[in-house]
Amino acid sequence: MSNRVLQVLVFVALATGGFAIGTTEFGTMSLLPLIQRAFTVDEATASHIISAYALGVVVGAPIITVIAARMSRKPLLIGLMVVFALGNGLSAIAPSYHWLIVFRFISGLPHGAYFGLASLVAASMVKPHRRTQAVGYVMLGLTLATIIGVPAATWLASLTGWRAGYWSVTAIAIAAGVLITIFAPYQGVHSDAHPLRELTALARPNVWLTLAIGGIGFGGVFAVYTYLTTTLTHVTHMSAALVPVVLGVFGVGMTMGNMIVPRFADRAQMPTAGAMLVWSLVALLAFPLASRNAITVTVDVFCIGFGVSLAAILQTRLMDVAGDAQNLAAALNHVAFNFANALGPLLAGLVIAFGFGTQATGYVGAALAVAGLLMWAITWRYDKRVGHAPNTA
């Protein structure tokens, strides 16, 4: 088997895990109405299962990464997929709403650690100038989930009940674990690996600055996406049949972004990150006006999705600035994006509550993109003053 073929198979294996995670993360939003009716809870209460998953990500990413510092990456990836499959399998048989909350929390625990480790494994298999592309390939699993996995799981759930959605995720997670077992390379543990060494990432200002770019600047995407269905229905006056199409276009934008943008980021990392923040700023600023027409809003949603490629850039940057604590820094990237997932909708919800309408979420998103650009400028200036040595994972 040639090295190139092996690389592709490893990327497919790692991306399959990302596909499973993306399907459950985004798919749960589609399952909420079914879960709400099944357990006889209101919409606000049902949404707590999304918060429980996000809390699992925030708690699990740093704790798992630090505790498992002396484990090699391959068995740890397999173990994370086992826990993820177990959490979703338990979600599928949850006897009550409160048990479902617990099981969604368990499902979220492996999320950040998995993506962090998978990105490091992928980056280690290519030459240094292609690392962001390798990370982008892993992220393709997450983006393809929004195009294929979520609609498929939602359709299955509509036919046989919400539990089928989580059973499908469980099956994908098991398949990912098998593929990782077969194809992922075994990488020995560094002789100096230690939980305390991983914690040194928290003492690096550049790690925190990079996390702030994503945690703040990426919030704008979630500010719009969370209320996108409502905007399409009540502002654009789009038919119920066309709304999923626009949501799929968002996924297509994410996928295209992860295929194209990393090639530029590998040549000019920080300029590309800044360019994507500007891209998102323009797309989000245009959203209130674009939302009045079905064609313009579809184009704009594609552009907003395209900006999600910032995640792969920041993931690679964290490898550069974390020194010997790459595992923790890589995992914290997804903690930052879950923070953005909480911040964006929270601020957008306040604007809507004041009566400005869901289309105004675009202005909220644009403001967050500006704040992200400010953090980017501070980070780049810090780089110029202090600098950081690239790391090859």
CB 166 within 8 A of CB 27: no
Last residue of a domain, one of 136, 158, 193: 193
Q: Would the pLDDT of 390 be above 50?
A: no
CB 300 within 8 A of CB 287: yes
Last residue of a domain, one of 193, 220, 247: 193
Both 47 and 138 in a single domain?
A: yes
Both 213 and 230 in a single domain?
A: yes
Both 54 and 161 in a single domain?
A: yes
DSSP string, 100-161: HHHHHHHHHTTHHHHHHHHHHHHHHTS-GGGHHHHHHHHHHHHHHIIIIIHHHHHHHHHHH-
CB 235 within 8 A of CB 358: yes
Q: Would the pLDDT of 392 be above 90?
A: no
Q: How many CB atoms sit inside 10 A of residue 161's CB?
A: 15
Nearest to 106 by CA among 85, 126, 124: 85
Decide which of 334 and 77 is more confident.
Answer: 77
Both 109 and 221 in a single domain?
A: no
Average pLDDT along the chain: 87
Both 237 and 383 in a single domain?
A: yes
**Residue 46: its pLDDT value, please?**
78
Both 279 and 297 in a single domain?
A: yes
Both 187 and 245 in a single domain?
A: no
Both 135 and 184 in a single domain?
A: yes
Last residue of a domain, one of 142, 158, 193: 193
What is the span of the domain harbouring residue 44?
1-193
Both 221 and 283 in a single domain?
A: yes
Residue-wise pLDDT tens digits, 319-362: 888 766 677 777 788 888 888 887 888 888 888 888 888 899 99
Both 186 and 200 in a single domain?
A: no
Both 295 and 268 in a single domain?
A: yes
**CATH code of the domain containing 46:** 1.20.1250.20
pTM for this structure?
Answer: 0.82
Q: Would the pLDDT of 193 be above 60?
A: no
Number of folded domains that form the chain: 2
CA angle, residues 69, 73, 76, in degrees to nearest 5:
80
Both 145 and 6 in a single domain?
A: yes
